């Protein structure tokens, strides 16, 4: 199995690992395919993600994609962060082997869950719609990856 240099770099030296102190957005999701878990915490101020960290019981590909995903959303607005897809994260990492695509969905979903938690805490009446867009051929876009 071949991993890109960027995947190996983010796997061996993951960015933003841990939990944000004073987090006001926390999301945890599980991967229906492998049973792995991802937790993302954020500090959001004035609609901007000031800080973000992740913890995962996932594989190396989950570590690398979460590292890259947290780098990509840090400093961005909530709305921009919600536009981040697992595909964009994989592209930023120069790709993942097909059997590892499902691992990249964890970060995207956990970011969505954290922002939903932020909306709920702040009394903002918005629903985050996130999850699999048919990225992996194995699920073909049905609801397998969606988590409450």
Interface with ligand FES in residues 56-75 (CB under 6 A): 58-59, 61-62
* Region at 91 (left for phi over 0; alpha for psi -120 to 50; beta for the rest): alpha
CA distance 34 to 50: 31
CA atoms within 13 A on the CB side of 64: 26
Active site residue 132: no
Interface with ligand FES in residues 102-141 (CB under 6 A): 103, 106
User: Using the rule CB under 6 A, is 89 a contact of ligand FES?
Assistant: no
| Interface stretch with ligand FES, choices 53-61, 71-79, 119-127, 139-147 (CB under 6 A) | 53-61
By the criterion CB under 6 A, which residues form the site for ligand FES? 31, 34, 36, 58-59, 61-62, 103, 106
């Amino acid at each position: 199995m071949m991993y890109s240099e960027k995947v190996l770099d983010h796997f061996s030296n993951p960015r933003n690992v841990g939990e944000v102190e004073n987090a006001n957005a926390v999301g945890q999701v599980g991967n229906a395919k492998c049973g792995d878990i991802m937790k993302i915490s954020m500090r959001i101020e004035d609609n901007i993600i000031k800080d973000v960290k992740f913890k995962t019981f996932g594989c190396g590909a989950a570590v690398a994609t979460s590292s890259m995903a947290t780098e990509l959303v840090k400093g961005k607005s909530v709305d921009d962060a919600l536009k981040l897809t697992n595909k964009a994260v994989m592209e930023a990492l120069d790709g993942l082997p097909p059997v590892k695509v499902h691992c990249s969905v964890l970060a995207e979903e956990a970011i969505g869950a954290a922002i939903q938690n932020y909306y709920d805490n702040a009394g903002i009446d918005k629903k985050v719609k996130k999850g699999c867009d048919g990225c992996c051929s194995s699920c073909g876009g049905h609801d397998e990856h969606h988590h409450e």
